[in-house]
């Protein structure tokens, strides 16, 4: 807020607007705040600021799948990549991040991108790949955690590596 002192100099005082969303239902709330110069307070002077508050669950996310399965042979080609979508029903953008935890083995899974922006109108496409390089025959399990804010969705992944032809 700017005011004029008696000496004719401008002084600046920070303007702080706080909101309290408690008790409000999910939705968009808009109001206006009029800021006046010192000594002026009529309805037509000052600057009118619009303040918008969006109340909703932060980080509401969904994944298009809950599990993925891969199969390959020892020393064979890697299986084809698979994809899934991360979506939201929120009207504002959220950022989703991915992380991988392994039940057995490590480093055999790739997830791309590691994070990205998600809109209701534009889901995030996640590509998952499995590598059999250095793996012995067996079943390998991992979990991809997709998180945004306090919300997390898990996609379980299984890779079955067969001995192959002898």
Spatial CB neighbours of 14, under 8 Å, sequence gap ≥ 6: 1
d(CA 85, CA 62): 8
The answer to whether residue 67 scores a pLDDT higher than 80 is: yes
Domain boundaries, the chain: 2-55, 62-162
The answer to whether residue 88 scores a pLDDT higher than 60 is: yes
Strand stretches in the chain, DSSP E: 2-4, 10-12, 27-35, 47-55, 62-63, 67-73, 82-87, 94-102, 109-112, 115-118, 124-130, 138-148, 151-162
d(CA 138, CA 82): 20
CATH superfamily of 62-162: Immunoglobulins (2.60.40.10)
The answer to whether residue 151 scores a pLDDT higher than 90 is: no
Structure confidence at residue 22 as a pLDDT band (50, 70, 90)? confident
- Please state whether the predicted TM-score (pTM) of the whole model is above 0.75: no
d(CA 114, CA 83): 13
State both tokens at 26: 């999910």
43 vs 160: which has the higher pLDDT: 160
Structure confidence at residue 6 as a pLDDT band (50, 70, 90)? very low
What DSSP state is assigned to residue 15?
A: -
Spatial CB neighbours of 11, under 8 Å, sequence gap ≥ 6: 2, 3, 5
């Amino acid at each position: 807020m700017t005011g004029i002192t008696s000496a004719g100099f401008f002084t600046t005082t920070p303007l702080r607007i706080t909101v309290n969303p408690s008790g409000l239902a999910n939705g968009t709330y808009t109001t206006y705040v009029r800021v006046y110069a010192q000594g002026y307070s009529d309805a037509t002077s000052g600057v009118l600021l619009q303040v918008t508050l969006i109340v909703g669950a932060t980080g509401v996310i969904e994944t298009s799948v809950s599990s993925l399965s891969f199969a390959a042979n020892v020393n064979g080609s890697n299986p084809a990549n698979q994809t899934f979508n991360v979506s939201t029903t929120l009207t504002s953008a959220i950022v989703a991040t991915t992380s991988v935890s392994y039940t057995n083995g490590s480093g055999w899974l790739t997830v791309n991108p590691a994070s990205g922006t998600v809109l209701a109108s534009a889901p995030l496409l996640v590509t998952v790949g499995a590598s059999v390089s250095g793996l012995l025959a067996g079943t390998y399990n991992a979990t991809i955690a997709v998180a945004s804010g306090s919300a997390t969705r898990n996609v379980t992944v299984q890779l079955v590596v067969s001995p192959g032809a002898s």
